[in-house]
């Protein structure tokens, strides 16, 4: 399957589970931002930027209820 092909996965979370997941994602986002600021390698920075974009996309989808 092509990695750009959407795969729909639905999970139901309680509010505490959702809040915990958002905390984990926020922590991962902070770590990525710190790692991006420390790296000198352009290619590695680009990969980290891609991961940050993906993480932000997931966070937006969770908070919007999609």
- Tens of pLDDT, residue by residue over 10-65, are 889 999 999 999 999 999 999 999 999 999 999 999 999 999 999 999 999 888 86
User: In this predicted structure, what is the pLDDT of residue 35?
Assistant: 97
Q: What residue has token string 């993906």?
A: 54
pTM, to two decimals: 0.79
Domains of the chain, residue spans = 15-64
Query: For residues 44-55, b (16+ Cβ closer than 10 Å) or e, as one string?
Result: eeeebeeebeeb
């Amino acid at each position: 399957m092509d990695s750009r092909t959407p795969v729909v996965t639905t999970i139901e979370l309680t509010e505490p589970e959702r809040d915990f997941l958002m905390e984990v994602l926020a922590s991962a986002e902070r770590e990525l931002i710190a790692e991006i600021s420390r790296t000198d390698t352009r290619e590695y920075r680009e990969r980290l930027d891609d991961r940050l974009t993906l993480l932000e996309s997931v966070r937006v989808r969770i908070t919007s209820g999609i």
